[in-house]
Amino acid sequence: MKYFTGIDVSLRSVSICVVDEAGEVQYEGKVPAEVDLIVAALQRCKAEIMQVGLEAGTLTQYLTYGLQKAGFEVICLEARQTAATLAAMRNKTDRNDARGLAQILRTGWYRTVHVKSWRATRYGRCWPAARRSLPGCVDLENELRGCSKSSVWRLAPHLAHNRFDETVRAAVSTTPELNTCLLPLLDARTVLYKTYLKLDNAVKSVVRHDPSASD
């Protein structure tokens, strides 16, 4: 007999439901969202579980690769389709959602979602996202430019990022009354810019050495 497992995933816990070919519930449980605890819960079920279904979400990769390593076939269900199906249920709870996912898996009325590899996520999303999260150096440059317009010194309209620090520091040093308020901004901008360069160089290094990256 075949058994179908639905896992409703929350940030800190998961609800598990196992049904047989007839749709009868064989096991239900709720455990923390940790792979080893989920595996232990599934092993407590006397049914021979081979297939597990869960919605695409934040913990998809962690649970998919963890459960696959434990020997389960994991099917990642398209979230919008399953959400529309589960919305028809009378009582919307984690337990009932897990039951619904198990029934969806049993009937085969679902679309699957490709789960990216850890490498694709790490190099394709995390690093570029980290690089994009450091725009503060440009904001600080604009603030310093604004101060220069109302002071005795002026910045060139087109000034390269790598020359910004030395240029502004030299200009501010000639106006002692500006040192107290502008040098801290300049120091903060310099730290952000150097951090950005480290991330930028790391991303470019990965791209240069990755044969799958296009020119």
pLDDT tens for 6-41 read 999 988 999 999 998 888 999 999 999 999 999 999
**Residue-wise pLDDT tens digits, 57-94:** 888 888 999 999 998 999 999 888 888 888 877 778 88
CB-based burial, 187-215: b 16+ in 10 Å, e otherwise: eebbebbeebeebeeebeebeeeeeeeee
Backbone phi and psi for residue 101, each to the nearest 5 degrees, phi listed first: -65, -40
Position 152 scores a pLDDT of 60
The 10 Å Cβ neighbour count of residue 52 is 26
Q: Residue 95 CA to chain centroid, in angstroms?
A: 26
Give the whole-angstrom CA distance, residue 91 versus residue 111: 24
pTM of the model: 0.61
134: confidence class by pLDDT, cuts 50, 70, 90: low
Where do the domains of the chain lie? 3-107, 125-209
- For 74, the enclosing helix (H) or strand (E) is strand 73-77
CATH superfamily of 3-107: ATPase, nucleotide binding domain (3.30.420.40)
118: confidence class by pLDDT, cuts 50, 70, 90: low
138: confidence class by pLDDT, cuts 50, 70, 90: confident
Distances 179 to 57, 136, 156, 170, 207 between C-alpha atoms, Å:
49, 21, 20, 11, 41
